[in-house]
Amino acid sequence: MAITEGNYTPSAAPNNSAVVDLRMKKRDDKALSMLKLGLSWEILTTVNHQKNAKDMYDAVIEMFEGNTELRDIKKDRLKQQLDRFKFKEGESLKLVLQRFMTIVNEIRTTNLQISDFELNKKLLSSLSGKWYTAS
């Protein structure tokens, strides 16, 4: 909840808000501790300056996924790889499928929306002519 609800910010209002602030601070401290325990030393040293759980979590996510501009560049690169995908002369069907599935798996991790129909059509159109059956 500390990560999804945002940063802990103490309020200046008197009365019950002090109790609520203390609970929020404890929750944020727990989340921050859990994040620190789950990170490797190399990653922790780069994000340890963050003061609350949400900021640390966002820094880790940006470190691994990049910012929105980098994610858009990755999506464009994957679209280009898919567009240029084709059978290489002398390549076995197993290797073609492995190369294709590598691209498809990367596409799925970026939430790039390409239908299964489009993917199947691309794979079948990229196969060698010698694999087509005579009718």
Q: Can you give the pTM of this predicted structure?
A: 0.54
Q: What total number of domains does the chain contain?
A: 2
Establish if 4 belongs to a structural domain.
no
The span from the CA of 35 to the CA of 38, in Å, is 5
% of the chain at pLDDT higher than 70: 81
What residues make up the domain containing 119? Answer: 68-131
DSSP string over 31-100: HHHHHHHHS-HHHHHHHTT--SHHHHHHHHHHHHH--HHHHHHHHHHHHHHHHH--PPTT--HHHHHHHH
pLDDT for 9 equals 57
Do 77 and 126 lie in one domain? The reply is yes
Do 24 and 74 lie in one domain? The reply is no
Establish if 110 belongs to a structural domain.
yes
The span from the CA of 24 to the CA of 10, in Å, is 9
Do 52 and 39 lie in one domain? The reply is yes
pLDDT for 63 equals 84
List, for residues 8-46, the tens digit of each pLDDT value.
555 544 556 667 678 888 888 888 888 899 988 988 898
Task: HSE, CB side, 13 Å, CA atoms: give it for residue 48.
Answer: 11
List, for residues 53-87, the tens digit of each pLDDT value.
888 998 888 888 777 888 888 899 999 999 999 98
Taking residue 104's Cβ as centre, other Cβ atoms within 10 Å add up to 18
CB 32 within 8 A of CB 57: no
Do 58 and 42 lie in one domain? The reply is yes
